[in-house]
A and B are shown apart, each in its own frame.
Chain A
Amino acid sequence: MVSEKELREIVEQVIAELGGKSSKDMIEQVVQECTDIDNTDNSELPDITTIDLKKQLLVPNPENPEEYLSMKAKTPARVGVWRAGPRYKTETLLRFRADHAVAMDAVFTNVSEEILEEMNLFTVKTKCRDKDEYLTRPDLGRKFDDEEIKKIKDKCKLNPQVQIVVADGLSSTAIEANIKDILPVINQGLEGYGVNTGTPFFIKFGRVPSMDVVSEVTKADVTCLLVGERPGLATGESMSAYIAYKSTVGMPEARRTVVSNIHQGGTAAVEAGAHIAHVIKEMLDQKASGLDLEL
């Protein structure tokens, strides 16, 4: 921190270098303005994350703003942000950091107990002890201790046609944003197709292959895992469904069918849920999933 005295010296020096005469009053005024903390605007800052980036064009005097915006409408990429010298403008930089913070939060928060309760999901934990271990040890995010396996066996209806599981994955925010809308639609769709479902539950610190263990334990024909996607800078609310027919631990990844990008800006949760029910029905009919499934 520069002290008030040092500041006074700097101002004097600058004015001297500019060849001007340094009047005492002038120096006092500048120093006063720079050090007056009572002048700070204490009102709330506007939330820059509420600005729709697709509609924001920061290029000054563009040749054809309509065309630029119509291109921007097609991508969440940060184009047309302009620059200050070789750097981002302050607004762009702040927005970038704000969006990054949303992504960090999505990874590090936990899915709220209330939502799990409301959706009637009990919780099973993988071998990870906390978020840090979950992030650094992908191998543990797909394994369960024996007592957790027992919990699944005790609480779940065994041999269902379809077992649905929910995992936090890399975005708890995604689960909180979508689960209330997607679960009932999947269930309703499956009911319409005359398919019986098992007991859904929640996996804490769960990675995609954790569904293979669930499949082996519940002996479901089809296992469907709804999992939070690794958040990017566009949204932290994106969820995927990984669905497989008789999945087993160590099976090739090609046997999973994926429906990704489920969020407000992608495929809406209810329509995705209806589609997922249809995919599951096809899997049961064709007894296949992933690349073997013909949709």
Chain B
Amino acid sequence: MKEKILSVGIDIGTSTTQLVFSNLTIENTASAFSIPKIRIVDKKVIYKSEIYFTPLRSAIEIDGESVRKIIEKEYKRARIQPEDVDTGAVIITGETARKENASMVLNKLSGLAGDFVVATAGPDLESIIAGKGAGADLLSKTKRSIVANLDIGGGTTNISVFKDGEIIDTTCLDIGGRLIKINPKTMRLEYISEKIKKLAEKMRISLEVNKEIRINDIKAITNRMSEILEEVLGVKEATEDLNLLLTTKDLKRNYNIEYISFSGGVADCTYEEDSYSNNFQYGDIGIILGKSIKDSILFEKFSIYKPPETIRATVVGAGSHTTDISGSTITFTKDIFPLKNIPILKLSEEDEKLNYQSLSQRIKEKVEWFNLDNGNQQVALSLKGVKNLSFKELQAMAESIIAGMKEILNLNIPLIVVVENDIAKALGQTIHRYLGYKKDVVCIDSVRVENGDFIDIGKPLANGRVVPIVIKTLAFGY
């Protein structure tokens, strides 16, 4: 029995705004004689919007009303009603990914993007989404190798590194096609970002707005940008300029990348033969940057892979790869979904090795620390859990969770537990029993989260056997 979920992905980037609708098909893949195993068996993009320039009020402020109009128009074209959308993500990326924009856009789009969406991404999640949209995770799995995807957009380059299908590293740099804007008719400089200006100054190139540019200067800058990409990927020694352009932590570079792929708007200029009549036809440095990268040693040092999605990688990632589903044997005592933006409080491996009494003490401490930073609020306790535990261990685990989460239980909110191993149904039932069946309990499994993540849990699917989840990784790798 197959079931379809309609997912929307909206990407509002520094330069472009796009939307896709995807159908995610879920199906029980286990035989009739086994415990159900419901999985996402197919992801298909069913509608792609046009690619719009992001309406901006200023260099960093999004024109929310115009964005809403674009999205409304695309819903109509796709013949999709907002209430038909089950899940998805709106992500604001690149230079425009600021808190003010996020809350404003979220506000403007409320009611349009379904009941179940991500508001902001942040550089780490952005990189992961783009990498998955470009299919780098899949490639790393089928080739059993390490693949880095570079999503080079207007404002930023988001890098994600996958090994055997799993994300192992991410970073983000201020390298993009629209960090310098040029009027193609007058060849005068219209805009230059602060950081690129600094980079240019270090190269003794002076660029002033409204002054005519010299093509060789621009080439020198894009060549330098391309070199910095070589530095971040470890084929050249890192310089101070790399630190200047990094917007988040650097890559770890303690692994051997075999393949690289490029996505984002600039990617097309790296794969395609020179087909542009005018290098400045878009009024920016995207085409020239693409060429610089194409001529760089990146193309010699790595095997190059051209992803099926380039400029649309992020939006496809947002539409098709943000939603996952929980394990198929879970507990929820009441349909209180959707639950949004629940912060994760994860126990460490050492914590889980403690005896059950010390474990409850540790949970208590962690809840206290968490509350100190965040105030008393909803939190999801996350643990790995034991794969084959006995009934006695199950009871002890339930008791220590309850004792440890006492402060949360005193609030008028449900108890949420997220486990990695397949024990959520038994654990949830046991906890519910110990709470005298008086408190709502949500206990889901087959979900791996880390401290600093947030989780959205959507309305149950497949006759209540699974719930869709979106994990928002905000602090990957720390």
Contacts and interface: CB of A to CB of B under 8 A. Distances in A.
B429 A268 contact: no
B34 A185 contact: no
Nearest to B394: A270
Interface in A211-231: none
Given A66-B144, A270-B390, A260 B34 contact: yes
Given A180-B391, A188-B430, A267-B35, 17 more contacts: A184-B391, A185-B430, A192-B429, A259-B33, A260-B34, A261-B35, A267-B422, A268-B388, A270-B391, A270-B423, A270-B426, A271-B35, A273-B426, A274-B425, A275-B35, A277-B429, A295-B465
Nearest to A263: B388
B441 to A, nearest CB: 10
Contacts of A295: 36, 463, 465
Interface in A261-295: 261, 264, 266-275, 277-278, 294-295
B42 to A, nearest CB: 21
A271 B426 CA distance: 5
A41 interface: no
B364 interface: no
Interface residues of A, number: 31
Given A271-B35, A271-B329, A275-B329, A264 B429 contact: no
A70 B164 CA distance: 11
A139 interface: no
B227 to A, nearest CB: 34
A67 interface: yes
Contacts of A258: 32-33
Interface residues of B, number: 27
B35 A185 contact: no
B53 interface: no
Interface in B27-85: 32-36
B387 interface: yes
Nearest to B31: A260
Contacts of B390: 180-181, 270
29 contacts: A66-B144, A70-B144, A180-B391, A181-B391, A184-B391, A185-B394, A185-B429, A185-B430, A189-B426, A189-B429, A192-B429, A240-B33, A260-B34, A261-B34, A266-B34, A267-B34, A267-B35, A267-B422, A268-B388, A268-B422, A268-B423, A270-B423, A271-B423, A271-B425, A274-B329, A274-B429, A278-B425, A294-B463, A295-B465
B144 A67 contact: yes
Contacts, number: 77
Contacts of A28: none
Interface string B414-446: 000000001111101110110001000000000
Given A181-B391, A185-B394, A294-B463, A274 B426 contact: yes
Contacts of A185: 391, 394, 426, 429-430
Interface string A179-213: 01100110011011000000000000000000000
> Would you call the interface of chain B mostly helix, strand, loop, or mixed?
loop
Contacts of B33: 240, 258-261
Interface string B3-38: 000000000000000000000000000001111100
A269 B391 CA distance: 9
Contacts of A259: 33-35
Contacts of B465: 295
Contacts of B394: 181, 185, 270
A191 B433 contact: yes
B426 to A, nearest CB: 4
A271 B429 CA distance: 10
* Candidate in A188, A261, A272 with the most chain B CB atoms within 10 angstroms: A188
Interface of A: 66-67, 70, 180-181, 184-185, 188-189, 191-192, 240, 258-261, 264, 266-275, 277-278, 294-295
A261 B33 CA distance: 8
A230 to B, nearest CB: 14
B411 interface: no
A171 B135 CA distance: 47
Contacts of B389: 268, 270
Contacts of B428: 274
A267 B37 CA distance: 11
B256 to A, nearest CB: 14
Contacts of A294: 463
Interface string B92-132: 00000000000000000000000000000000000000000
* Candidate in A67, A191, A267 with the most chain B CB atoms within 10 angstroms: A267
Nearest to B37: A267
